[in-house]
């Protein structure tokens, strides 16, 4: 049974209004009353759309992963040039996007990965799915770059995509801890070095 447009709009309002709260305070750190107050909806309405706070968290993460995927694809469509150039545009956006701010600062995966992995198996699986999908997409771009010659042929695309994501996730956490983007700039330099051709 499909939700009415009004019902869907209310559900969407709850998710969108709650996003900055969860991004700032974490999932556990935001209480239900705070969500209800920010969204200006009664508790009964919340439970009409979400069976529990965990179900709300799952919906929030699913929406974020879809949004992030679309954001990456849009960035790559707007970036002229090689697969290498598009890949660098992604990591540059993690540091600074003039429109949205640095992606690393606004990433729910960076914020919630450690917290929800022990808290909710369903939320952990959603986050893990999102990470795997991004890694696969980066690997595909690396393969495309190898075919066109912008990415060195000796690289193993999927392994390199995993290494890159691990590097950038760690850098994002350290940047948040230090309140300094230096770890992200070092990650960019390291990524560029990883993609250098082997010298004879």
User: Is residue 177 very low, low, confident or very high in pLDDT (cuts 50, 70, 90)?
Assistant: very high
172 contacts 110 by C-beta, under 8 angstroms: yes
pLDDT digits (tens, 9 = 90+) for 86-145: 999 999 999 998 667 789 988 999 999 989 988 999 999 999 999 999 999 999 999 999
Residue 106: partners with Cβ closer than 8 Å, 6 or more residues away: 23, 100
The average confidence (pLDDT) of the chain is 92
Q: Over range 181-191, report the average pLDDT.
A: 97
pLDDT digits (tens, 9 = 90+) for 46-97: 999 999 999 999 999 999 999 999 999 999 999 988 999 999 999 999 999 8
Query: Secondary structure of 26-49 in the HEC alphabet?
Result: CCCCCCHHHHHHHHCCCHHHHHHH
What confidence score (pLDDT) does residue 1 get? 39
What confidence score (pLDDT) does residue 4 get? 61
pLDDT at 197 over 90: no
pLDDT digits (tens, 9 = 90+) for 1-47: 345 677 788 899 999 999 999 999 999 999 999 999 999 988 888 99
What confidence score (pLDDT) does residue 199 get? 63
Nearest to 138 by CA among 64, 69, 65, 66: 69
Rg of the chain on CA atoms, in Å:
19
pLDDT at 168 over 90: yes
């Amino acid at each position: 049974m499909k939700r009415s447009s009004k019902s869907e709009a209310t559900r969407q309002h709850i998710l969108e209004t709650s996003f900055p709260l969860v991004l700032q305070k974490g999932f556990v750190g935001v209480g239900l009353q705070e969500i209800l107050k920010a969204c200006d909806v009664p508790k009964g309405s919340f439970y009409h759309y979400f069976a529990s706070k965990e179900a709300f968290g799952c919906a929030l993460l699913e929406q974020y992963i879809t949004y992030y995927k679309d954001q990456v694809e849009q960035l790559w469509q707007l970036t002229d040039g090689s697969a290498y150039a598009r890949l660098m545009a992604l990591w540059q956006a993690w540091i600074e996007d003039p429109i949205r701010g640095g992606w690393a600062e606004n990433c729910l995966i960076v914020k919630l990965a450690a917290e929800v992995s022990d808290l909710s198996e369903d939320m952990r699986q959603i986050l893990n799915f999102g990470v795997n999908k991004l890694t696969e997409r980066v690997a595909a771009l690396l393969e495309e770059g190898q075919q066109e010659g912008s990415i060195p042929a000796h690289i193993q695309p999927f392994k390199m995509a995993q290494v890159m994501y691990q590097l950038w996730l760690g850098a994002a956490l350290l940047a948040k801890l230090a309140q300094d983007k230096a770890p992200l700039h070092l990650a960019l330099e390291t990524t560029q070095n990883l993609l250098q051709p082997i010298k004879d």
